[in-house]
Structure 1
Amino acid sequence: MLWIDVVNEPHVRLWRRFLKRYPQDVLITVRRKGSLIELARRMLPDHEIHIVGRWGRSKEDKIRAFAERVRDLVYLLDEYEVDVASSKGSTEQARVAFGLGIPFIALNDNDLPPHVVTRLTFPLSAVAVVPECFSGPTYGPTVRFRGVFEVSHVLDYLEEPSREECRRLGLREGSYLVVRPPPVSSHYLEMAEHFEEAIKRLLDSTGLEEVRFPREGGIILPDGTKLYDVVDGIDLMATSAGVISGGGTMIREAALLGIPAISLLPREDPCVTRILMEGGLIAKADHRNIVQAYEHLVERWSTGELRERARAIISSLEDPVDAIKRALSQVFNERKLY
């Protein structure tokens, strides 16, 4: 049995695509964070979703949440015979799998110092799965793939592109920007100045509306209404006029969809974002030049060039779920699990 721990909303599509391509006997766990539970139930309807623990906001709360979740995961695993475990960034799964002697496959793509999640997961892993560009430490056996994890997210969406979320939420296609604030509660970002100033300048210049995905979960519509409904972020981005983010995942998903994507991360971007910048799919900006950066992308978007470029880049990259499968096969062969 494969134990998958899903700790963030975007990872749901990654694992859905993996299970479509490579059906497995699985145990799926999630934590309480934003709309993760509801999204997992919606996108993985054929699998039981086990809710274990929660997300911690502050440094102290993260430690408390970690300890509570490790304890509860151990109790849950008393009921299952798990052969191998895998997740993208679950420090709790790494600790539990290591303690119980379960081979652990660690996925990660954020190579920004101080490498906190990497240091808490990769040393405990049997195999690490990372993009080729990943410059952080991996500590042991590693499977590298050509590309970014978001390729799997977008390929999963493109199999069934509904384009229904904007209408469900009362929005007009192409009339809004999707905004994602910086991850200031993360281990690699302490503060983010000028983000709100940059967003205001762009909205004032374009006359577009704002749809915001707060870090604590939910979605804020242009009229200020905050909803905690399950929202398919990729589908909502696909009908937007662009995505402006202080983080990484949504900006890479938007770029691979071929819509205007601007990074406002107030430090250097991880390698996976940089390779899409070098491919011409993402612009790096700040509060001083965000309007010009967006106008340049919109020119390419309106002619269809941005979408064509995105499709060409996707076709040149590897589907990350194939790399996960290679890592699983490596563990199975070494441990003779099957």
Structure 2
Amino acid sequence: MSRATLTTSDPGKDPAAAARNPAEAIDVWVDLASPSHPFFFKSLTDSLSNIRATVTVREKTETVPLTRQVGYAFRTLGRDYENPHLRKLGIPIRTAQLAFEAPKADVALSSRNAMCILASKARGIPSVHFTDNDICAYVDGLKAEELYHRLEAQATHNVVPAAFRTEVLTERGANPERVHTYDGYKEDVYVASFDPDPTFVDELPFDNREFIVVRPEALSATYVDADGSLVPPILAGAVERGINVVYLPREAGDREFAAGLPENRVFVPNEPLSGLELAWHARCVLTGSGTMAREAARMETPAVSFFPNTRISVDRALIDEGEIFHSRDAGDVLDYVESVSDRDAKPDLSRAKCVRREVAGLTADLVNDMVD
């Protein structure tokens, strides 16, 4: 019997061929290591026919509940640690876990995930790796980041946005013919699948329906070097200007930034809220990192980054193209928010859907070549 062939499909309209003929499905192992991964890979795998996905998940912040939310059946393997020293140990420990306990598969899919790449090599499973982070190309002294890129370069294929500096991978061992680019951004893939809920804003405690989203810098991350957060002056300034804020702390200490501010103006949810719903309904999204700004920008919601260090290529490209506003001055950030017009704040998914089709087609071609 000939092997199955992956094809692209319209998510939600064409059930996976595996449901019709499981014997002919291609077995794909998907390993999810960070909170953005469940959305990206669910949208991608839903865009492919003839696929049977087995999913493993690292316990890291909201990754497990978000994986459950998108509808994946999964197994939790390994965890992340807030303590920087334990975090360094957690990566090799989880890599070993995956190498011993990885599911049987024809191919592995992962994103920004050297753990899965190394475990796949140990098990003889070819891999497709998706990344958009080339930060060590710009920042000296990040030995952990440089090592991670060296390990990512060991994937059978790497798939990156056109804005990505591919030499970050090729100079660390990747075959240039196996580094593939697409015209768009990682966030396009899952933004394209988003179906907004018009009742979402009813959950928010504001008298009117207008609000901004604020997410702090990841100050504990190895790639962030800042004297302090810009969040306190942003929140205080928003209150002074009468702007409603949904504030999303990253870590327990971040909650203190909202202490003493009026709860009817600065809302700190006790349970996780959908970042995509927030981006769709918000007047503007402000973040000290990159992902939420890119998600908002690719659904054409105004976005602000106040990331404190040198930015990765995809962020630089979006800033240069005017899709993201960047500043480390709270006054400038709030002036930009107030400049947003009603026309600016109307999101749209058309562009993202085109990118998702391109990435799904590229993935199908790569998988088919590897399992022939």
TM-score (normalizing by structure 2):
0.77
- SS of the residue 1:307 aligns to: coil
Deviation at 1:289, TM superposition (A): 1.9
Aligned CA-pair RMSD? 2.9
Which one of the candidate residues 49, 60, 63 is aligned to 2:74?
49
User: Aligned equivalents of 2:97 and 2:128: distance in 1?
Assistant: 20
Larger Rg: 2
On the 8 A contact 1:30/1:49 being kept in 2, the answer is yes
Query: Please, which runs of 5 or more residues in structure 2 have no aligned partner?
Result: 1-26, 137-141
Over residues 101-137 of structure 1, what are the superposed CA-to-partner deviations in whole Å (9 max), with x where a residue is unaligned? 2112111111212444752432221110001111151
In percent, how many aligned pairs have the same letter? Answer: 21
Q: Label 1:173 to 1:63 Cα distance change in 2 as closer, same or farther (>3 A).
A: farther
Q: Equivalent residues in 2 for 1:1-338 (5 A)?
A: 1-23=27-49, 24-44=51-71, 47-77=72-102, 80-113=103-136, 114=142, 115-116=145-146, 118-136=148-166, 137-138=168-169, 139-140=174-175, 141-157=178-194, 160-171=195-206, 174-216=209-251, 223=263, 229-287=271-329, 288-296=331-339, 298=340, 301-302=341-342, 304-305=343-344, 307=346, 314=352, 318-319=355-356, 322-323=358-359, 325-333=361-369, 335=370, 337-338=371-372
Over residues 175-214 of structure 1, what are the superposed CA-to-partner deviations in whole Å (9 max), with x where a residue is unaligned? 4321111122323213353513441353134322332222
Query: Please, which runs of 5 or more residues in structure 1 have no aligned partner?
Result: none
Deviation at 1:168, TM superposition (A): 3.0
Q: Label 1:202 to 1:148 Cα distance change in 2 as closer, same or farther (>3 A).
A: farther
TM-score (normalizing by structure 1):
0.84
Give the residue type in structure 2 aligned to 1:111.
D
On the 8 A contact 1:53/1:72 being kept in 2, the answer is yes
Deviation at 1:71, TM superposition (A): 2.9
User: Aligned equivalents of 1:210 and 1:242: distance in 2?
Assistant: 10
User: Aligned equivalents of 1:193 and 1:100: distance in 2?
Assistant: 44
- SS of the residue 2:153 aligns to: helix
Q: Label 1:227 to 1:292 Cα distance change in 2 as closer, same or farther (>3 A).
A: closer
Q: Label 1:168 to 1:200 Cα distance change in 2 as closer, same or farther (>3 A).
A: closer
Give the residue type in structure 2 aligned to 1:69.
R
- SS of the residue 2:293 aligns to: helix
On the 8 A contact 1:12/1:43 being kept in 2, the answer is yes
Over residues 58-80 of structure 1, what are the superposed CA-to-partner deviations in whole Å (9 max), with x where a residue is unaligned? 33111221133223223322xx3
- SS of the residue 1:69 aligns to: helix
